């Protein structure tokens, strides 16, 4: 008998980009540009992201040169029917003293 480990079947997955708005470009804690690892930490600690797996590091873009707000793009693994994305799209969550929206 072959002792090869049999993997369980999984549905095909794809990557999906989502936009998060309402995040300060400057971190409240360090007075410097917010970093992608800070965003990742916030997402990991928030219950609405429990079933979400990031496919890459978040991308942080300043909205306008004189603005203090950022747009954060996250790339997630999702089923082809976008079931994971549907659970978080249009949801709000706290990041510091601000409320962000996906």
Residues 45-86: pLDDT tens digits?
999 999 899 999 999 999 999 989 999 999 999 887 888 899
Q: Is 42 exposed, middle or buried (0-12, 13-18, 19+ CB in 10 A)?
A: buried
Predicted local distance difference test score (pLDDT) of residue 13: 78
Provide the domain count of the chain: 1
Identify the domain containing residue 37 by its residue range: 13-101
pLDDT surpassing 80 at residue 4: no
pLDDT surpassing 90 at residue 12: no
Is 31 part of any domain?
A: yes
Is 56 part of any domain?
A: yes
pTM greater than 0.95 (yes/no): no
Q: Tokens 């095909």 appear where? A: 12
CA atoms within 13 A on the CB side of 85: 18
């Amino acid at each position: 008998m072959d002792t090869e480990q049999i993997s369980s079947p999984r549905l095909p997955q794809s990557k999906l980009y989502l936009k998060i708005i309402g995040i300060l470009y400057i971190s409240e804690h360090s007075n410097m540009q917010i970093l992608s690892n800070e965003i990742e930490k916030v997402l990991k600690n928030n219950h609405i992201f429990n079933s979400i797996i990031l496919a890459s590091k978040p991308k942080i873009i300043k909205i306008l040169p004189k603005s203090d707000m950022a747009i954060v793009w996250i790339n997630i693994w999702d089923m082809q029917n976008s079931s994971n994305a549907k659970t978080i799209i249009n949801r709000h969550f706290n990041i510091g003293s601000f409320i962000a929206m996906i």
